[in-house]
Amino acid sequence: MIERLAVIGVGLIGGSLARALKSAETVGEVIGCGRSRENLELALELGVIDGFSCDPAEAVRDADMVFIAVPLGAIARVFERIRGQLSEAAVVTDGGSVKGSVVADAKRVFGEIPPWLVPGHPIAGTEHNGVASSFPELYRHRRVILTPLAQTDADARARVRAMWEQTGAEVTEMSVAHHDEVLAATSHLPHMLAFGLVDALSRMRSNDEIFRYAAGGFRDFTRIASSSPEMWRDICLANADALSTMLARFGAEMGKLSETIRREDGETLLRIFERARAARDRYVDGVGAEGDGSSRADKTPD
């Protein structure tokens, strides 16, 4: 049971955690914090939080659990504001999509990695942002990755794991570097392809023409290009090395595919598409009926 949860950044990710813990009845009080008073008032109205402060230092006072869910570029400033303000019992975790930058920010601000910091990342989300898009089932049957460090306190790690399990998530652990490499491939690269494709096409053809003739394939493939530009700028900057490597490898693969098409080599094309379809079928079978950890794009916020 968490007595007082401070959520810094009450948007899709922070709001959904608060809603999930409230519906599991495993949190006493939720204090929100963010840069916009209007958003915090909405969160209060929706019952996502029980009170708020625009100052992180005040929001974390007496909290036994602190969840930071702001864009990655804002995390260092939050660390600076909460330094020296936490209660003895407090554990701090975050939901940032890249872990290397969060750990580097913590080292810079606190001088060393504090034992009470448990970096984390829920592999669940949608292309929508803001508290109005949050919902309590977001993490159910989804994965959450924790990237504890050698310095991380065992009790802090167990408490963060227990919190996520109460949302219905499956918690796994891996190293910071491995997390950032894996997510560069499975999350960051696909977002670059979607953003890049929509941007390139909209500059090649008029918007009207794209939307008039685009059907399900275009819509499915590009859903994630509706995601928050600010959040994705920060993810790219925070994971620049791993993401650039992935983009270069993928670019080379696209070059080979393009060559194969130019050669009119139908046999090779068939082999590539069969291999890809089999890999996707295995992936879909593996994740089962509950889905793949991706969004509920059609969810209407309550």
Ligand X SMILES: O=C(O)C(=O)C[C@]1(C(=O)O)C=C[C@@H](O)C=C1
Ligand Y SMILES: NC(=O)c1ccc[n+]([C@@H]2O[C@H](COP(=O)([O-])OP(=O)(O)OC[C@H]3O[C@@H](n4cnc5c(N)ncnc54)[C@H](O)[C@@H]3O)[C@@H](O)[C@H]2O)c1
CB nearer to ligand X: give 65 or 224.
224
The answer to whether the beta carbons of residues 28 and 122 sit under 8 Å apart is no
> Interface with ligand Y by CB under 6 A: which range of 74-82, 146-154, 202-210, 247-255?
74-82
For residue 74, state whether it binds ligand Y (rule: CB under 6 A): yes
- Contacts of ligand X in 225-264 (CB under 6 A): 227
Q: Exactly one of 82, 91, 123, 198 binds ligand X (CB under 6 A); which one?
A: 123
> Interface with ligand Y by CB under 6 A: which range of 68-76, 169-177, 210-218, 255-263?
68-76
For residue 70, state whether it binds ligand Y (rule: CB under 6 A): yes
> Interface with ligand Y by CB under 6 A: which range of 92-100, 105-113, 265-273, 282-290?
92-100
With CB under 5 to 8 Å by kind, the binding choice for 294 among ligand Y, ligand X, none is ligand X
- Contacts of ligand Y in 15-44 (CB under 6 A): 34-36, 39
CB of 169 to ligand X, least distance (A): 12
DSSP for residue 84: T
Of 260, 149, 273, 253, the C-alpha closest to 193 is 253
> Interface with ligand Y by CB under 6 A: which range of 73-81, 147-155, 161-169, 173-181?
73-81
CB nearer to ligand X: give 64 or 180.
180
Q: Exactly one of 122, 136, 148, 293 binds ligand Y (CB under 6 A); which one?
A: 122
Q: C-alpha 232: how far from its chain's center?
A: 10
Tokens 């570029």 correspond to 73
167-180 CB burial, b ≥16 within 10 A, e <16: bbbebeebebeebb
Q: Exactly one of 28, 115, 130, 168 binds ligand Y (CB under 6 A); which one?
A: 130
**At residue 32, what is the residue type?**
G
Q: Do the bridges between strand 120-123 and strand 143-146 make them parallel or antiparallel, or are there none, so unpaired?
A: antiparallel
Helix (H) or strand (E) holding 144: strand 143-146
The answer to whether the beta carbons of residues 148 and 176 sit under 8 Å apart is no
CA geometry: angle at 211 spanning 206 and 130, to 5°? 105
CB nearer to ligand Y: give 119 or 122.
122
DSSP for residue 300: P
CB of 69 to ligand Y, least distance (A): 4
Q: What is the rounded distance in angstroms from the CA atom of residue 240 to the CA atom of residue 180? A: 10
3-state secondary structure of 282: helix
For residue 187, state whether it binds ligand X (rule: CB under 6 A): yes
Q: Which residues of this chain interact with ligand X, rule CB under 6 A?
A: 97, 123-127, 187, 224, 227, 294-295
